[in-house]
Amino acid sequence: MTEIYNQSLKDSDSEVFATLRKELERQQNQIELIASENIPSLAVLNAQGSVMTNKYAEGYPGRRYYGGCEFVDQAEEIALERVKKLFNCKFANLQSHSGAQANQAVFLALLQPHDTILGMSLASGGHLTHGAKPNISGKWFNAVQYGVKKDGNDKDLIDYDEVEQLAKEHRPKMIIAGASAYPRIIDWKKFRRISDDVDAYLVVDMAHYSGLIAGKQYPNPIEHADVVTSTTHKTLRGARSAMILTNNEDLIKKINSAVFPGLQGGPLMHVMAAKAVTFGEALKPEFVQYSKNVIANAKVLSETLVNRGFRIVTGGTDSHIVWLDLTPKNLTGDKAEKLLEDVGIACNKNAIPYDPNPPKITSGLRFGTPAATSRGFNTKDFHTVGNMIADVLDSLLLEESEREEICTTTNKKVIGLCSNYPIYNEAY
């Protein structure tokens, strides 16, 4: 039995090893444009697959319910100090396993069942956990949803007048700002003013923007919010996990209790170590340039698609997100997503504001630039990628033989472009 501890995965379980190899090949040979995904460093992967997997550590550093926590305490303390420096905040909890769970912890800490919350609707680019009916946030609370403007020069932009009107009408205990598909800068200060007017907590879910915020390319919500939540993998390019930040000592005490023992037992200390590495990388000067490149690449992708006759929701982007409206081309998101994946371009179908199609079909696509930027793709590459996307999507309106020819040619271009930016050569 002791032999198993010294065997590699390749030697001990060839079946599972094969799936890892295939996934690595997929990542190497596809252009990853899913906005919520990224490619962390090998150092992050090493930390997350480390011996800290073996350790249970219920509680917090110096206050554990298990012995043998000296070194996992050190890892968590390093992560805490780094994240506080990175986002200029006083307090943090890093034990939530996911962004959804981090949001649940904040709800548990600050709300009672049936309290009123005000969040951005899914249809307008919000997240499932901000009060959508299928989610626990929409089932346990009286969830009111705000959206974006339907017409005019501000079409598709957050309707702050509606946010204010709904806040005054419903007097929510919590207002949630942040989004899953919204590509523009969100006015945290305006949300703060509205929250103060109705005596509501302001919670910002910055999951999509946290890497850009760390890189000082997007406004930091910690200056205005009572609590900030985030994942740690999207633009932040780290371990798949989450964090909760605040400058209020009383709130962090409630949040700590909500996370443990309120929602979970032991944190994942191997992930904690990986988060410490993540924050350390984001504190380096190179991360600022990466963040700038993410946004520059998104702008080029957006402009290229507009020049090819496509409509971008909100008219452009200030972040990593490019939100494509397919209705001018009479296309649907489900078919477009599938065809792009077939040629090696990964994205996701996404509803557009006031979408006439159901969520399983949609009238839009969501693209994101972090993963390809991490590989090294530049603005010239993203101009090429934008034209490849346009070629493939336009081919849906052609005869099958013409479409197949375009898709075959595009797939070869995708593989050729990816070969210029290899990843994880020695990982498996």
Give me the active site residues, please. 56, 58, 205, 231, 234, 240
Dist CA 172 CA 190 (whole Å): 16
Dist CA 170 CA 50 (whole Å): 48
Q: Are 383 and 428 in contact (CB under 8 A)?
A: no
Q: In the sheet that 364-368 helps form, which strands lie side by side, from edge to edge?
A: 311-312, 321-325, 364-368, 348-350
Dist CA 83 CA 362 (whole Å): 37
Dig out the tokens for 343 from the structure. 């040629």
Dist CA 323 CA 188 (whole Å): 21
Q: Are 238 and 75 in contact (CB under 8 A)?
A: no
Name 202's Cβ contacts closer than 8 Å, sequence gap at least 6.
Answer: 174, 175, 177, 191, 192, 195, 224, 225, 226, 227
